[in-house]
A and B are shown apart, each in its own frame.
Chain A
Amino acid sequence: MKKILTLAISLTFLLVLVACGTQGDDDNTISFAWWGTSDRNIATYQAIDLFEEKYPEYKVVGEQSPWNGYQQALNNKLNRGTEADVFQVNYNWIYSMYGEDYFMDINDLGLDLSKYPADEHKPLTVNGKILGLSVSETGYIFYLNQKVYEDAGVSFDDGARIIPETWEELMTAGQIINQNDPTKYAIGRLDSQQIAILMFSYLAQIYGKNVINDNNQFNFTQQELVEGFNFITDLRSTGVLIPSNAIDTHIDGPTNPNWTSQKYGGVLQWNTAISEYQNTLPSTANLVMAGMFQQEAGQTLGMYKKVSMAYAVSKRVEQSDAKKEAVKTFIEFMTTDPEAVAILGVDRGVSSNSDTQAILKAAEGKNFESSLEWQGHEVVQMMYNYQITQNIHLYIHPYYEHNTFRAIYEAPIESFLLNNKNANEAAIAIINLFNTELSRIMEG
């Protein structure tokens, strides 16, 4: 008897605890989730605090998260309906996470999209609904640690410049650096994701074609793809890249000891993600923006771009006008309030919103325009726009970065990088599955 009583009491106690603990959800509380590292987290919390100061009727619950596992967590939350009101997304998730069912049309919020370029939100539009607010655009850019080049005595144009401009110059630099010190490389280690974009950029320069054509099919022939792989082999035999990815298995770029001890002379990365690499370098390093190397001097080709990240809004926000108003105020604050923009800086990239850009340029003492992100951003935009005039369209396909799909082209590349497949075998492996898997993924 006693036992049953204790059981009953504990169960009731449990239920009381549970009831007390669950948080209420009201229209004046906005939950905001993002991924990032220290710098971004600190800045975001500062901006949030400022928002609450300026709009005391609202409260913001911030949810920081590391990048690793963010997508899985978001997926879970969307399934359970516990996602934040506003959350950061990769642009392609709008497609792979059944966007329409889960994300709200931001047109409904009444945000002013006129300050963005006309086509900015097209990639984020599904069935006429805009499912995310573009935070910034991004492209893959080379950044070089100039000190590595200087130390080896690399120079071009009779000493006028140190940074290479063409692939040939890059390979020359690689040979000089690597012969000088066999543990050093002009670039160093690139993983299969980076090699993929490198190859496709290189091929785009020669053939003017995007990886995936308008019929959602692989756009290069086997020969052309093999040419791309052979190019990578050239880079690996001229001291630009390490000869095999088996000798360096550090998967995280910024904390790779070879990078921090300045053995690797460069990195190929989204211009929005470069600050992490900069932060881990010692003060003797000199990281500079090097754009995209060209086939011949003076060209400006081979630049892919995409929306780097977007703010998506949960579909549940639709249900309440008061909530919509709150979310709209918050998003406008984070993207266009002068103080907030100055705090958040260019860590999430350079916004395409012209008002925001003006604020960034005018921010006193911050010097955003000379940051590596901004420099990269200008090059990306300049090159991309030039390509448009040449009728070359290199926008990243929405399914290009889909988790299961990307394994189709990244796995053979990884095999190639580990010297387990040669150029021919890797090319065949990619072409065999590419079209069928892409169409399977796109059907959902």
Chain B
Amino acid sequence: MTDVQLRLKSHKTKKRIKEGFKYVIIIFAAFVMLYPLLWILGASFNEGANESFFFWPHDFTLIGWKEALSAPGWGSAEGYSLLRALWNTLQYVLPHVIFGTLSTLITAYVITRMHFKGKKLVFALVIGTLLMPNTIFRIPMYAFWTTPGISELWDGNTTPFMGYLPLWAGSLFAVNSFSIFMFIQFFRTIPRDLDEAAYMDGANKLQVLWYVLLPVLKPIVITVALLLFIASFNDYQGPLIYVTSAPFFPLSRVLPMLGLDSTNTYAHVYARSIVSVSILIIVFFAAQRYFVGNDADSAIKG
């Protein structure tokens, strides 16, 4: 081979090694990220504690899965099951997501599409509260919700959704500044001509939002809803301090107690945990095509 050919060949090999190296890093990282999940899945089919690194179960058993939905051991003749805990969870997650998305959408709409006195102040306050740590609000809100007059409204209330009022009441009033912020950023990318055209046809503000802008906003609405869903579904401290009676326990209160009763095996614990997060997985995959790649882009620019 000539000099040039040799150099070309070594260059190509170097390139391939670099390419391969990329994949090695990525695959190794992905493995480290996902293996614990795989291990947990394997352990849910294993009788007794899985004392090895390998995820494949050595004492295969289906009992964890068969009894995944039934009384979690700390239950009783009344049968507090995982399904019940799931319903309890939905009782605050659903209102939180629905009201939260709507109220922040409307607020962002007003800030970006309408003129009014004090708009700058409102915008500044939204951005200001964006970075405010939640802990500062927790204690006073707790004191508020547990004052004798008010606590009767929700504590022990068996009407659907009402028993969890403190966990979603805020969503009615656009308290999630990050969602407002994301909506604002997205609104800014939609040209006003769209609005103008609709006004010329005689539409009012609400109709413009609903019929004209919403179809365009669909990705961001789904994104915001998904983020609210994830945050609310995973909330631990909230239910911990507000929900104190066993029949009302949502998933995040039930799951930490799973290992503590003698009628559970490890398989039960793992299987039940997986069942609980399966909702998250399903919702995530359903909304994913709108979400991944969309939100951050428009949200952060500018």
- The closest CB in chain A to the CB of B74 belongs to A66
- The closest CB in chain A to the CB of B269 belongs to A255
Q: Is B49 an interface residue (CB 8 A)?
A: yes
Size range of the chain B interface in the assembly: 35 or more
Q: Produce 1/0 per residue, B151-186, CB < 8 A to A.
A: 111111111011100000000000000000000000
Q: Is A20 an interface residue (CB 8 A)?
A: yes
Contacts of B206 in A (CB 8 A): 2-3
Q: Produce 1/0 per residue, A16-52, CB < 8 A to B.
A: 0110111100000000000001100110111000000
Which of A18, A44, A45, A254 counts the most B-chain CB atoms under 10 A from its CB?
Answer: A18
Chain A contact residue count (CB 8 A cutoff):
36
Q: Is A437 an interface residue (CB 8 A)?
A: no
- The closest CB in chain B to the CB of A21 belongs to B159
Q: Is the CB–CB distance between A23 and B76 below 8 Å?
A: no
Contacts of B147 in A (CB 8 A): 80
Contacts of B49 in A (CB 8 A): 257
Q: Is the CB–CB distance between B74 and A45 below 8 Å?
A: no
Contacts of B240 in A (CB 8 A): 69
CA of A46 to CA of B244 in the docked complex: distance in angstroms? 23
CA of A18 to CA of B158 in the docked complex: distance in angstroms? 10
Q: Produce 1/0 per residue, A70-89, CB < 8 A to B.
A: 00110011011110000000
Q: Is the CB–CB distance between B162 and A82 below 8 Å?
A: no
Nearest 8 pairs of A and B residues by beta carbon: A21-B159, A41-B76, A279-B262, A73-B244, A21-B157, A280-B262, A257-B49, A45-B77
List 28 A-B pairs, Cβ < 8 Å.
A3-B206, A17-B159, A18-B159, A22-B152, A22-B153, A22-B157, A37-B260, A37-B262, A38-B73, A38-B76, A41-B76, A41-B77, A44-B76, A65-B246, A66-B257, A66-B260, A72-B244, A73-B244, A76-B146, A80-B146, A82-B151, A252-B259, A252-B260, A254-B262, A255-B259, A255-B264, A276-B262, A280-B262
Interface residues of A (CB under 8 A from B): 2-3, 17-18, 20-23, 37-38, 41-42, 44-46, 63-66, 68-69, 72-73, 76-77, 79-82, 252, 254-255, 257, 276, 279-280
**Given A65-B245, A252-B259: 20 more A-B contacts, CB < 8 Å:** A2-B206, A17-B159, A18-B157, A22-B157, A38-B76, A38-B261, A41-B74, A41-B76, A45-B78, A46-B77, A64-B78, A66-B246, A68-B257, A73-B244, A80-B146, A80-B151, A252-B260, A255-B259, A255-B260, A255-B262
